Structure 1
């Protein structure tokens, strides 16, 4: 008998699984009390980490080009997440989920696309500022 083979998950699939975990797909919460507790925990964690980010950014972001990589990375992650959420929205529509759920997902996807455009503009502005400074 052949030994069991180790399951390999392609990188793209792992990325989607990681994304799903970030959005709570590993576990669903059946009450608004549970959801509110999770949202509060996420917010508290983000705000705790934000203080560290601000201190590091203040030390590192000495000119426009220093800002660019972080903004570009954030745009890439957000864009990937928005595309993932478009798939969630498609699935919600296909399965006939409640209209309020679909409407909220539409709002999120629309806002996410707007955010990626704003972030792209911010990245462009870093290059323009660098070019206009004569560097």
Structure 2
């Protein structure tokens, strides 16, 4: 089935809260490639908007807060996935990779929180 047809099926399923599982690495690799291409295509727009918008220290803060909030929610979701994988005795390699992703995700939320704090500290110190 062509990737575009998969995308339509996936989009329709997502509207009902369903997620599709892929059973071959070829399918997974195609989906990962599509996700990356979409993200990088949209990144140019994000960079242009961010450059125009983030002109002061405090202007940076809301975007970073938004990213941290979404990431934290996703990391907590992954913790649930990890708990389920452990409970059901799924493959140890999968569990290890989930543990690594959860740990890294929590580390990233801490870095983003520090970044938000830096915006207020820099604002206070610069007086802008």
Supply the distance in 1 between the matched residues of 2:68 and 2:31 (Cα, whole angstroms).
Answer: 25
In structure 2, which of residues 93, 98, 105 is the aligned counterpart of residue 105 of structure 1? 98
Q: How many residues align?
A: 112
Q: Deviations over 1:44-103 (max 9, x none)?
A: 000011000000000010011000000000000000000000000000000000000000
**TM value normalised by structure 2:** 0.85
- 2:20 is paired with a residue whose SS is coil
Counting only pairs closer than 5 Å after superposition, residues 70-85 of structure 1 correspond to structure 2 as: 70-85=63-78
Structure 1: runs of 5+ lacking an equivalent: 1-20
Structure 2 partner of 1:16: none
Structure 1 partner of 2:38: 45
In structure 1, which of residues 116, 121, 125 is the aligned counterpart of residue 114 of structure 2? 121
Structure 2: runs of 5+ lacking an equivalent: 1-13
Runs of 4 or more above 4 Å deviation: none
Counting only pairs closer than 5 Å after superposition, residues 1-135 of structure 1 correspond to structure 2 as: 21=14, 26-135=19-128
Q: CA RMSD in A?
A: 0.9
**TM value normalised by structure 1:** 0.81
